[in-house]
Amino acid sequence: MSGHHIKVDVAAYSDDWLGFERAARICQTTPHVTETGYTSEGFLISADPARLSEDRTAFDIVVRLPAPTWTSQPLLLPNVSASLYGFNILVDNMDGFVIFDSVFMRSMGKPIHIGSMHANNVRLQNWNGEIAGALTSSNRIDLYAHNGAVSVNASLLAGRDHGNTHAETPTVIVTTINGAIKADVNLLSGPRATTTIVPAYKTIFHTNDAPLIVAYPAAPEHHNLTLFASNSHAPTTLRLPESFVGGLALRSPSPYRRPVVHFDEGTDKRGRTLQVTSMGDDLMTARVASRGGVHELQGGSVDARAIDGALDLFL
């Protein structure tokens, strides 16, 4: 394989080769130049399930990317798209070797597992299967699972540019239907973040009938974090960065399951304070301030809703 080419290996396994030859198709698309000047080509693999039993035939598809040398910068690839129904999607540890501008992957009935990947835009979808892995992005991570759990270690890079895409507010969105969410979100800043440009991040999580757990293990000392979270009929646990300051709006329509804020001003390393600004039947608002007041350029926002489920927020 040339160091400048992508290689795709396709292997088929079947105990009914006569039926396989009648029902299966493997086609390579004609290469064409995109509007941005890149050459695009792909593969189409199909098997008629009415003519070929699924449990008697299997495909193994391996995409091999050119690896940079130890002294070169990571390879920048524009767009990768894969829709593989009934396939396990497995991505090796690629962070540090390849940076994608855009990645879209869709599966059904099988898991999507990412070792590690760096892409400006990542969109993963799965039906009746889980999504798990480590993702790094300077723009947007969008994960959706229907009847499947999502477990992700996401790193959002503010103030960095790679390829054609850049967003002022790097964002992660995770949505599941009847699937648990466990997310560790690292908030990272690049060289453009200064004392006058506070990095901003947006994180959105929605699920139902399944636990929702979100934590922020790493964050800049000064940052603006926006968090939206909603869940129903299952517990929700949110662990904010230790440097978070800003407003809280915690909603729970059940009078028997009030939101709980876990915070000890006496032991807080940064000397933050918590002031409850309102307490209603289904809404509690509060303000987290740093020692000496909130930095004029700093102030995040948390809006969390729990219906018939516990809501615990840790500062």
Sorted by where each begins, the domain ranges of the chain are 1-64, 70-314
Predicted local confidence at residue 37, as pLDDT: 67
Predicted local confidence at residue 8, as pLDDT: 78
What confidence tens digit (pLDDT) does each residue in 177-188 have? 999 999 999 999
* Average confidence (pLDDT) per 10 residues, the chain, 315 residues: 64 78 76 70 69 66 72 78 86 86 93 95 96 96 98 91 62 97 94 68 97 97 95 96 94 83 89 90 90 63 95 95
Tokens 């990571």, residue located: 74
Predicted local confidence at residue 48, as pLDDT: 67
Provide the whole-model pTM.
0.86
Evaluate the CA torsion angle 307, 308, 309, 313 in order and state its sign: positive
C-alpha 140, offset from chain centre: 8
Predicted local confidence at residue 2, as pLDDT: 39
Predicted local confidence at residue 63, as pLDDT: 77
Q: What is the DSSP letter of 31?
A: P
| Interstrand relation of 311-314 and 260-262 (parallel, antiparallel or unpaired) | parallel
